[in-house]
Structure 1
Amino acid sequence: MTTPVSIALVEDDPDIATLAQIALVEMGGFAVRHFGSGPELLTDRDGPLPDLYLLDYRLPDMTGEELLGKLRADPRTAAIPAIFMTASLMPDRIKALKDVGALDVIAKPFDPLTLADQVRKLLDRA
């Protein structure tokens, strides 16, 4: 039996987080750990490192872009792929997120029936 791909989901909206977790775990077979904020993720030093970060852009204490910058600055997490989820799909924002190292951006609201496939395709492309 293979180990599922692990995802650290950083999403402050509990309803969106629950929907994403269900879609990723039940439909995609991923292992998901949820964090409600950037600082919560950054202070989690006891848990295993994920295979992927799935980051909300708009978080309460810092933007997802700022969070990714902190992850990229840490040698332990610098190479872990990241995907953003956001409703703000302006081309300049998408370019900025890719420039700081994001694989891509998934539009919110996302389709729970296709979210796991979207994530898997982006990971395969990485």
Structure 2
Amino acid sequence: MCKHILNVQASIRAPCCKQWFDCSDCHAEATDHPLRKTTEMIFGCKKCKKVFRKDMANFEEEDEYCPHCDNKFIVEAKTPQMALAVEGHDERMGERFEKDMRLKEDHVKSVFDADTDISHLMG
């Protein structure tokens, strides 16, 4: 499983070392040599597990699909994102966060406030 691209649809056989990788970054991390460039690529479909070749010099739109199962293996890459921002406004919080802050600013009392009289609740 590739840690660089989350939605990899096909593995690539590196022409230099004949090993299988999900992306060029995986190759760079696992080997001590640069990835050799070639026009003929060998792919392994992750859906049907079959291998096929593509000539990248004459690559067309219909070549974006596995010839065995029609799985589209050329897709926009989804890369891992940080779960939380370190600095700045977090868009995910939205209005809920601002609403909570207003409640704190209004000093809404609850039974957990130290100066709230709860003796009538203790029966």
State which structure, 1 or 2, has the greater radius of gyration over its C-alpha atoms. 2
TM-score w.r.t. the length of structure 2 is: 0.25
Using structure 1 for the length normalisation, give the TM-score.
0.25
More helix by share: 1
Q: Which has the bigger relative contact order, CA under 8 A and spacing at least 6?
A: 1
- The structure with the greater share of residues assigned to strand is 1
